Amino acid sequence: MEFFDKLVNNKCIIVPLILWAVIQSFKVITDLVINKRFNVKRIIGAGGMPSSHSAVVCSLAALIGREYGLDSGIFAIALIMACVVMYDAAGIRRAAGKQARILNKILDTPGLTTGEVQERLIEALGHTPVQVFVGAIVGTVVGFIV
């Protein structure tokens, strides 16, 4: 029971998870308002404003920075990992999403494909730099406030 209590009372676990849930819920509600339909894929899907990936890693880094100091090794690890995650979200995964969009258009072009396509590629993989930046700001602010 002590193990469970430690997990539940660890701000560095709970705050980022709650922040992730809040941001993903915001995306579901926004998608519902804009598209007038409930999209369950938005609950766990990537992409959209703000980046929940950025918010989670920045809130974790901010919490660790406050708890252990900005000169601690654990903060350095959290900060570097946050930078890697944000770079990946805005760079590599965004590029993969663009490629998926182009490939899906090719699949939709009559005469260019042979056989039947079983599934389309997921296009919303990454984030724009603005989405990553806003997520980072939200996460950092939440991490320092909590």
In three-state form (DSSP H/G/I as H, E/B as E, the rest C), the secondary structure along 12-59 is HHHHHHHHHHHHHHHHHHHHHHHHCCCCCHHHHCCCCCCCHHHHHHHH
Cα separation, 105 vs 60, whole angstroms: 39
The answer as to whether 19 is a domain residue is yes
The answer as to whether 88 is a domain residue is yes
The answer as to whether 116 is a domain residue is no
| Interval 23-82: pLDDT, tens | 998 888 887 888 888 777 767 777 778 888 899 999 999 999 999 999 999 999 999 999
Confidence at residue 125, expressed as pLDDT on a 0 to 100 scale: 59
Count how many domains the chain has: 1
Nearest to 146 by CA among 81, 62, 68: 62
> Is the Cβ–Cβ distance between 137 and 23 less than 8 Å?
no
The answer as to whether 115 is a domain residue is no
Cα separation, 19 vs 26, whole angstroms: 10
Confidence at residue 90, expressed as pLDDT on a 0 to 100 scale: 77
Nearest to 127 by CA among 115, 119, 138, 118: 138
Rounded mean pLDDT, 120-146: 83
| Interval 96-125: pLDDT, tens | 767 777 777 777 776 666 666 666 666 665
pLDDT higher than 90, residue 138: yes
The answer as to whether 42 is a domain residue is yes
The answer as to whether 57 is a domain residue is yes
Query: Residues for the chain: how many in total?
Result: 146
> Is the Cβ–Cβ distance between 135 and 55 less than 8 Å?
yes
The answer as to whether 69 is a domain residue is yes
> Is the Cβ–Cβ distance between 57 and 78 less than 8 Å?
yes
Residue range of the domain that includes 134: 2-110+121-145
